[in-house]
Structure 1
Amino acid sequence: MLGVDGGRFDDLDIVNEGTQQQGCQFDDNVLSGTAKSMDQFSSYPAEMASVLVKQWESRGFPLELLPPTASMVSLLDVCYQASLLREEDTPVRCRVIYASPAQLRGMATQDPQPHVLSFAEPAILSPHNLRKLYAAADFYRAALAITTDERGVLVIWGLVVTGTEWVNRVEGSRFDGVSLPPNLVVQAIRPGHLVASSGYMRVLETNQGQLLIDGFDPFRSTWISGRFSNVREAMLNRLPDDHAKDTATTKVCESFVRDLAQSVVRRVLRLVRNRRHGGLMVVLPNGAHEDGTCEQWLRFRVQFESDDSTLLYHGMMLRLMARALEVAKTRQLAILTWSDYQQFRDAELRRFDDQLIDFSHFLADMMTVDGALILDHSFRLIGFGGEILGDTPVQTIHRATDIEGNQTVAERADSAGTRHRSAYRLVNGLNQSIAVVVSQDGDVRFVAHHNGKLTYWPYLP
């Protein structure tokens, strides 16, 4: 889809970057600080407000940027109720920011600032008014500005035009968009699905009665990075000789390759979650397409011919890094990092960004076909619609309780669905493989054989 300025953005389930996540649910006791276990109770705006304050404070964000408790409960309740409404058969989808005109217009930042339009007469914050105004504040392009007036009443006082580039910031791609102050932002994404953020940094999410707070982003772990270290080294060695061998030239930070690959997978997972169909991605060790592994473990709906065309992404990464190095040299950078790349303004790199978005959609399309999308560590496309063979059941799966999987809790494997059990069976038999399972309700699990145990990590970015 084209953004307002002709740039690309994804029509997908946007949730902001920030804390590592895991699903937890709470009952009324959460207001007194007593949390219940997972998958027991529904959560509501009052519970969300209570937990939001704790999460906000624990992240070090200024408490004075939050509305008073009663107003915050009301704000979350209105957004929750509005998310259940439709306007001419279109679901209400919006972003609101709790900030005064002075806070938005007085930002001190080197990045572009949002364009702020004040209403001549503020409107009372209500589900009805959000339903009537959300179309003017398109989810991707603008947010509605909320504050508490002198009567203590929440009002909608203006439009904050952000443009569409904030989507790239959420995904970790290069960011050309405007900044936001660290004020409370609430996104109503779909019925009952809210995300509360400080600017662009996610603090708390509620979805299907779950409060999603403390959990894991396996991409940030050392174990998953270690699985791909040889691939990153080989990729860097394939850069043109003048970049790889000339000690006087700019070098690519090894983590750049990791962050680039992970940005694509994050986008794929978000696309598949948004489609509500579910999917399975399996990453096999390099060489699995020709050493008999695939024949032993998989029956494909479609298996690709093993030629250079299946290394499409590999080639895209090399071309992107080569161009990024050229840009970095003009800036006299000794080391090219992912952070540097995100700040570059270059037309050719912008075309590469668009190609990566297209490739992410391509992977998501194949992943939503019944069966598994099969890749290897180098992102070689092996096939899709893969049926996992073998009839040896897995009895126990360990749920990680820390990002490195050093602490785990044993669970019955048959408590999960067929797609999950198939992934468990494959990873249990092929210990160097990694499976990523997306269920129809949006739950995502990374599955790997780690520390001698079959383990999964609940994932939210």
Structure 2
Amino acid sequence: MQASTVPPQEPGHAGPHDLAARLSPNPTMLSESGLAVLVETAYRASLKREEGRYPSFQLFSPLAGGPEPVLDLRFSPPQPYCLSTLHRLSPGIPPGPYAFVVKEGPDGLRTEGVARVEYSGFGALRGRIDYHGGTLFPGLSLHVSAPARLRAVLLSRDGPAVYLELREGQLKTCHDNAFSPVFLPLCRQAATILSHGEDDAGALPSLVKATLARVFSLAVAAGHGGMFVFLPPGPHGACGTDGLLSPGVGVAWPNLGRVAQNLAAAGGNQAVHLEQWDTATRVTAHASCVDGAVILDAALSVLGFRVELLARDEDALPVCVALSPEASEPTVTGVVDMAAFGTRHRSAARFCARLPGAVAVVVSQDGEMREFVRLPDGRVGVCGPLVPMSVSAPVA
């Protein structure tokens, strides 16, 4: 077995103490010192090989005074939270959607057992549903996936989730796309079209968000990177793409908008429509793994995939600006140098600059998402990095 030590932190490099500090003050059952121990022990465990393998596991701490997940495996008595416990037990526990549930007592941290803290499909958790069709239990989730690589998600009772990732000595912040100033208008536009402008659209707006965000979530999970392009509404949307898109592979189904409509109208008889929804979102997501873009119209019907955006590399890059992911309306926070990004990102920027009303979503191989849209002044707004994960919202 390899000894576990936290290497000295180089100047400018982040470590477990930085991650713990960014999660404070925390609303969980853990004290600030307990949180620091939770993160540092997980970090140490990530560096220690057992039988030639590095561990992969997830930790979870519920909110103080909040609901607690049901323990699927209850330790009797609770195990001490320490390096030895994580290494001895983690090989027998699926890293996701399950997690070690950690609480704090008079004697320090203890591991109570194992619970499922991520839920897929439309299984309700206390009447709440996630935008991507799954639910993350309220609290702090800490996922160890590789040496010195930790991802933390802090989901409180109110407000957007906090996503932090410690990787390669860098501490990065991501934001949930469910609140972005590009994603929200896109969903509102689609829901308005699908409901024919009715004031009371019922569950449809939430299901539109769930449908799109689940597509993005599955595309991220596939790990190949990809691009989705949403055309502007009206007949000018498709006509305006002349000379901008290659034919690609045409598609007559799935129609994600129709699938969301079917599910919204299903009431208590959702089983068949849930299966249709699961299949439609899955095949749409994985179509993005093929080189080129997945093209959808404003009502979320998939028109094609393996479509090349024909904006040429020699064309001048448009002026691109960063949009705050925390603002409900497009709020410019600075200039973005698109020359520092890859081909997908540059193509998305050029395409959106030439087709007002279009939205492009680029998924990087490392799991980050960025959204592109042309602003009224002709500049291209870029929102990201984003993650399509785990903010719960009621189904109205």
TM-score (structure 1 length as normaliser): 0.67
1:378–1:89 CA distance, 2 compared to 1 (3 A): farther
Whether 1:144 and 2:100 are equivalent positions in the alignment is yes
- AA aligned to 1:232 is A
Query: Following superposition of structure 1 onto structure 2, how do residues 55-204 of structure 1 map, counting pairs within 5 Å?
Result: 56=26, 61=27, 65-69=29-33, 71-83=34-46, 92-98=55-61, 114-115=70-71, 118-140=74-96, 142-148=98-104, 150-152=106-108, 154-156=109-111, 158-162=112-116, 165=119, 171-172=130-131, 184-191=140-147, 192-198=149-155, 202-204=161-163
Q: Does 85-94 or 420-429 show the bigger shift? A: 85-94
Identity %: 22
- Aligned partners of 2:235, 2:170: CA distance in 1, in Å? 39
SS of alignment partner, residue 414 of structure 1: helix
Deviation at 1:28, TM superposition (A): 7.8
Deviation at 1:251, TM superposition (A): 4.8
1:351–1:212 CA distance, 2 compared to 1 (3 A): farther
> What is the number of equivalent residue pairs in this alignment?
366
8 A contact 1:142–1:162 mirrored in 2? yes
Bigger strand fraction: 2
Q: Does 133-142 or 366-375 show the bigger shift? A: 133-142
8 A contact 1:395–1:414 mirrored in 2? no
- Aligned partners of 2:295, 2:241: CA distance in 1, in Å? 9
Deviation at 1:433, TM superposition (A): 0.6
8 A contact 2:150–2:166 mirrored in 1? yes
- Aligned partners of 1:223, 1:202: CA distance in 2, in Å? 18
Deviation at 1:375, TM superposition (A): 0.9
Partner of residue 352, structure 2: 427
8 A contact 1:82–1:127 mirrored in 2? yes
SS of alignment partner, residue 66 of structure 1: coil
Q: Kindly provide the CA deviation profile for residues 188-228 of structure 1, in whole angstroms up to 9, marking residues without a partner as x.
A: 34551321435798434214244344x65454356654456
SS of alignment partner, residue 368 of structure 1: coil
- Aligned partners of 2:120, 2:219: CA distance in 1, in Å? 20
- Aligned partners of 2:228, 2:362: CA distance in 1, in Å? 7
SS of alignment partner, residue 143 of structure 1: strand
TM-score (structure 2 length as normaliser): 0.77
- AA aligned to 2:375 is H
Deviation at 1:318, TM superposition (A): 2.4
Q: 2:250 is matched with which residue: 300, 303, 316? A: 303
Query: Following superposition of structure 1 onto structure 2, how do residues 343-422 of structure 1 map, counting pairs within 5 Å?
Result: 346=268, 348-391=269-312, 392-401=315-324, 403=327, 404-422=329-347
Query: Following superposition of structure 1 onto structure 2, how do residues 174-323 of structure 1 map, counting pairs within 5 Å?
Result: 184-191=140-147, 192-198=149-155, 202-208=161-167, 209-213=169-173, 216-217=175-176, 219-220=178-179, 225-226=184-185, 229=188, 231-237=190-196, 251-253=200-202, 256-286=203-233, 291-304=238-251, 309-310=252-253, 312-323=255-266
- Aligned partners of 1:314, 1:222: CA distance in 2, in Å? 21
1:269–1:128 CA distance, 2 compared to 1 (3 A): farther
1:409–1:251 CA distance, 2 compared to 1 (3 A): closer
Q: Does 284-293 or 185-194 show the bigger shift? A: 284-293
- Aligned partners of 2:359, 2:212: CA distance in 1, in Å? 13
Q: Does 129-138 or 86-95 show the bigger shift? A: 86-95
Q: Kindly provide the CA deviation profile for residues 28-69 of structure 1, in whole angstroms up to 9, marking residues without a partner as x.
A: 89xxxxxxxxxx944211111111114x3xxxx36xx22342
Partner of residue 383, structure 2: 457
- AA aligned to 1:72 is L
Deviation at 1:184, TM superposition (A): 4.1
Q: Kindly provide the CA deviation profile for residues 320-367 of structure 1, in whole angstroms up to 9, marking residues without a partner as x.
A: 22223xxxxxxxxxxxxxxxxxxxxx3x32442332222222111111
Bigger helix fraction: 1
1:289–1:316 CA distance, 2 compared to 1 (3 A): farther
RMSD of aligned Cα (Å) = 3.8
Q: Which has the larger radius of gyration?
A: 1
Deviation at 1:95, TM superposition (A): 2.7
- Aligned partners of 1:225, 1:123: CA distance in 2, in Å? 44
1:174–1:425 CA distance, 2 compared to 1 (3 A): closer
Could you tell me which runs of 5 or more consecutive residues in structure 1 were left unpaired when the two chains were aligned.
1-26, 30-39, 239-243, 245-249, 325-345
Deviation at 1:269, TM superposition (A): 1.9
1:28–1:195 CA distance, 2 compared to 1 (3 A): same
1:84–1:368 CA distance, 2 compared to 1 (3 A): farther
